[in-house]
Amino acid sequence: MELWNYIQILGQQKQGWLFKRDNLEERLKALTKILEFGYPSSIQNIMPFLKDGNKEIQQTTCNVIIELFKKIETKKGFYDTLKHCDISKSDIDFFSQNFSQQECLTLYSIATLNSSGYVREKAVKRLAETNNEKAIPFIVYRLADWVQAVRQTALISIENFKKPEFINALVNNLTIFEWLQKVERTDLSSVHSDIMNFVVVKNKSFVIKNFKTFSDRTRIVIAKQISSSTSIELDELKILLNDKHFFVRNFALFHFDKLNQNEIDKLLKDKSARIRLQTLYNLKRREDFLKILYTFLSDNSASIREFARYTLKNNISDFPKIYEDNLKNKINIIGSLSGLAETNGKNFVESIIPYLTDTKIKIRKTAFLALKLLDNDKAYDFALQNLDSEYIGIRNIIIEYFSNTATNEVLQKARETYVNGQYELKKSMLKLFSKVGKWTTIADIMIGTIDDNENIRQLSLGYLQQWRNKATTYFTQPKQGELERANQMFQFAFERHEEKKYFNQNPLTGLDFYLR
């Protein structure tokens, strides 16, 4: 049965014409099915049954609502899902008299999102009375309510939670408080500042002690607040510097003048290119800046390499030679390979070749990408030779390379690899066939739909559908032999599908329309 059938059963309290019988068992079963198959949007359909005449239906409905409520993950999701729930002010009193305080917490939270301002206002008051930290986000949402009375109630209510016992909950909800700054309906900057001051200033010791345990988003909010202070302490600065998230570390740069040389050196080696670049910007006035910058000519980041070359352009005349020397001495290999390509170092192509067989796949890939820019013939030879590489990363960049430049030689090897290769190689060759597309490889995609491996057939079916979607945009004439090959494969594969019934319906049906 469909979900709406179970909701309909739930509303049928008694059945029969002459001697009506209670169908409690069917209604409870319907609630079980609603819980199993329902969505958060189902809450508004079953909300009225919280006041059902049967206590067991009331309680089970409440349990189902609570579980469906847990599936909502965003502020927008809460509002869009729950604003039309049929709740009155008197219903809120009914909830408090018939359900536990923990259950009422969810029901009040739902009511704070109601379309009626009177209901929202009363629900916010009741939420505040629960003294439960889970009430905080729903009270905060109402700080931005479009009804002034509700906003005022929320403002008074949030004061109940500015206590030491709720500091952890307030910290966990800082990202929601941060949202207050984006509200245009009313100016909530003072509320935001007040909460941030309570958490980050008045309870600084708790925040500093537990900083590492907070979520990424919460640490970023706190770091932003800490870094905005002109009197930041060194222990706070060290916490920011040693954080695992680069956004948090970046806030430490706002107080660059307070950093010692060891800390600066650490930032210059930071794994985040953004941090390294910002650190270099802060060092521009140092006397030894150009000397420091020299090593960053072969940084792994393209933006840093470009910045270094631009700054040093009046001091260095031959950047490619620097990159070649680095490659000879195996210094900053990835950055030097990329830098050589960026500076058109065609005279030093041979220095790239050894790295095409490096033990590290990332270096091989970078070497190929550099070779592609400097010597396309050599890049083609490497790509053809490694089309069937055992490493998927190598295969993927080669497939991308050949997607618009595949020759008959390439396609022949790809077809042989598909026939003789194992599962992963077949997937890669199908990916190439799909990228080449048009009339050139439609026959190869059709072959995939009759493969012995079901996963390959399913993958090919997806590529076939993509080909159909693009077919009407192909304004080029097929090359000699392409259409003939496609029709031959169509006849063979169509008959195989009719025989084997791999799919509910033959996926090649109607494809011959495009092959005329």
The CA distance from 287 to 283, in Å, is 9
Instruction: Look at residue 189 and tell me whether its pLDDT is greater than 90.
Output: no
The reported pLDDT for the residue numbered 19 is 42
**Residue 251, SS3?**
helix
Residue 109 binned pLDDT confidence (cut-offs 50, 70, 90): very high
Q: Is the pLDDT of residue 511 over 90?
A: no
Report CA 418 to chain centroid distance, whole Å.
33
| Residue 86 pLDDT | 93
Average pLDDT over residues 501-509: 91
What pLDDT does residue 21 have?
54
- Residue 200: DSSP 8-state: I
DSSP category for residue 135: G
Contact between 11 and 41 (Cβ < 8 Å): no
Q: What is the pLDDT of residue 355?
A: 96
d(CA 141, CA 302): 43
Model pLDDT, residue 188: 82
Tell me: the pLDDT tens digits for 4-44?
Answer: 888 888 887 655 444 445 688 889 999 999 999 989 999 99
Q: How far apart are CA 321 and CA 345, in angstroms?
A: 8
**DSSP symbol at 478:** P
CA–CA distance, 121 with 339 (Å, rounded to integer): 62
Residue identified by tokens 């990202």 is: 175
Contacts for 183 with CB less than 8 Å, ≥ 6 apart: 144
List the one residue out of 386, 400, 335 whose CA is nearest residue 356.
Answer: 386
Instruction: Tell me the pLDDT of the chain averaged across its residues.
Output: 91
Cα(315)–Cα(179) distance, rounded to whole angstroms?
48
- Cβ neighbours, 10 Å, residue 119: 22
Q: Is the pLDDT of residue 436 over 70?
A: yes
Q: Using an 8 Å Cβ cutoff, are 284 and 309 in contact?
A: no
What's the rounded Cα separation, in Å, for the pair 459 and 466? 11
Contact yes or no for 302/310 (Cβ under 8 A)? no
Q: Which distant-in-sequence residues (6+ apart) come within 8 Å of 496 by Cβ?
A: 450
Q: Is the pLDDT of residue 323 over 90?
A: yes
In the chain, the percentage of residues whose pLDDT exceeds 70 is 98
Integer CA distances (angstroms), 370 to 86, 302, 329, in order: 64, 13, 18
More confident position, 171 or 184: 171
Give the pair of three-digit tokens for residue 29: 């079963």
User: Among residues 137, 213, 239, which one has the least CA distance to residue 225?
Assistant: 239
pLDDT in tens, 124-140: 999 999 999 999 999 99
In this prediction, residue 18 carries a pLDDT of: 44
CA neighbor of 455 nearest in space, from 433, 429, 491, 424:
424
Q: Domain ranges in the chain?
A: 437-516
Compute the average pLDDT of residues 375-379: 96
* Phi and psi angles of residue 21, each rounded to the nearest 5 degrees, phi first: -115, 150
Instruction: Please list the residues that pair with 22 across neighbouring strands.
Output: 14
Which among 398, 456, 420 has a CA at the least distance from the CA of 446? 456
End-to-end Cα spacing for the chain: 46
Strand residues in 52-149 grouped as ranges (E):
none
Spatial distance between the Cα atoms of 270 and 277, rounded to a whole number of angstroms: 10
With a threshold of 0.85, does the pTM exceed it? no
Looking at residues 83-101, what average pLDDT do you find? Answer: 94
Q: Three-class SS of residue 22?
A: strand
> Does residue 139 contact residue 166 with C-beta atoms inside 8 Å?
no
Tokens of 122: 């009363």
Q: Measuring CA to CA, how many Å separate 333 from each of 14, 356, 460? A: 79, 12, 39
On whether the CB atoms of residues 302 and 342 are closer than 8 A, the answer is yes
Rg, the chain, Cα only: 33
pLDDT value at 68 more than 90: yes
